[in-house]
Structure 1
Amino acid sequence: MSREFLLALVLVLLVVLLALLPLGWFARRRRQRSVTAPAAVPASLGESRGAFRGKYVATTASGDPYDRIAVHGLGFRSNVEVTVTDAGLLLARPGESDTWIPREDLRSLDRATWTIDRVVEPDGLQLVEWMLGSRPVATYLRLDDPTGFDAALTPLFPTTERQAS
């Protein structure tokens, strides 16, 4: 085989692989079209417990940090401002609709070291588990003030369901 033929073969393979990336993403979105949209942001959020800046990393199926939720604006990493209120959790991200997690949908707060495409120092991610309709999901956040966030969010959980951070 000539060198030119091998180069052409590698380029064709590269183009095919690059074409498969968006096809895979669209297939994931199609499979997840039955996933319930997050609750609408209420007119009154209640008293604020704190606002925290950082990075929204991902939302995945609970217990499966490789299964990214790709619908309803939850698929892409971005900057985030998280507001903890008496009524729940508000995630405000540039270019996306705000995501509201009502207090009654919150399940647990924990720490994580990794998720689908991010690895950080031990316990460097906040892991908020919540119900998206009937589906348990986990949202991973990398916040500038993780201790303050934990202190603001922990009281929202019923005493019997709180997890130590």
Structure 2
Amino acid sequence: MTREAAVLVMVAVAVLLIVVGLIAWRRRSRRDAGLSAPVGDAPDGAVASLRSEGLYVATTRHGDPLERLAIRGLAFRSRVDVTVTDTGVALDLTGQPRIFLAADALVAVDQATVAIDRVVERDGLVRLAWTTPEGTVVDSYLRPQDLSARSLSDAISRVLPATSSPTSPQQIPGSDA
């Protein structure tokens, strides 16, 4: 095989992989088109108890940390500013409108080690379970950069409605979670 033929084969394989990836993402986006995030600001008079900078990792199906959801505004990893208020949690992802998770939409908060394409030290992620406006429970994973995951998790747990019962940390085979 000549050098030119080898280069053409490599280019064809690369183009094929890109096309397959685009088709897969398009199918995932169509599958999750019925899910949305609650866009908006905290209610007037809400008192912020904690602000944190960090990374938004992913939003997945509740209890399935390896199944990313393509929810508009939450589909991709990003920097995030998290604001915990007495009425809920605000997520400000780079380039996206503010997402405000009202306290009554919050289901549970705990810490995790594994989510989609991120494995961190034991309990290094905050897993926030919440209900979409359509009624589906999902998990959003946050990686605080300026404070511990425990501190952020504790601050959010104070906002949870009294009827919420925290879920146990996820157990993934092969992880220390």
TM over 0.5: yes
Moved more, 122-131 or 153-162: 153-162
1:60-71 superposed matches below 5 A: 60-71=60-71
Report sequence identity in percent: 32
3-state SS of 1:26 partner: helix
3-state SS of 1:122 partner: coil
Unaligned residue ranges in structure 2 (runs of 5+): 170-177
**1:65 and 1:160, CA in 2 relative to 1: closer, same or farther beyond 3 A?**
closer
* Post-superposition offset of 1:159: 6.9
Paired positions, count = 164
**1:160 and 1:68, CA in 2 relative to 1: closer, same or farther beyond 3 A?**
closer
The residue aligned with 2:118 is 118
The residue aligned with 1:140 is 141
Higher helix proportion = 1
Verify the 8 A CA contact 1:59 1:137 in the aligned structure 2: yes
Q: CA RMSD in A?
A: 2.0
3-state SS of 2:97 partner: coil
* Post-superposition offset of 1:154: 1.4
3-state SS of 2:158 partner: helix
Verify the 8 A CA contact 2:39 2:100 in the aligned structure 1: yes
Matched, 1:161 2:162: no
TM-score under structure 2 length normalisation: 0.83
TM-score under structure 1 length normalisation: 0.89
**Which runs of structure 1 show a deviation greater than 6 angstroms over 4 or more consecutive aligned residues?**
none
CA distance in 1, matches of 2:67, 2:168: 25
CA distance in 1, matches of 2:168, 2:65: 20
1:1-165 superposed matches below 5 A: 2-4=1-3, 5-44=5-44, 46-133=46-133, 134-144=135-145, 145=147, 146-157=149-160, 158=162, 161-162=165-166
* Post-superposition offset of 1:99: 0.9
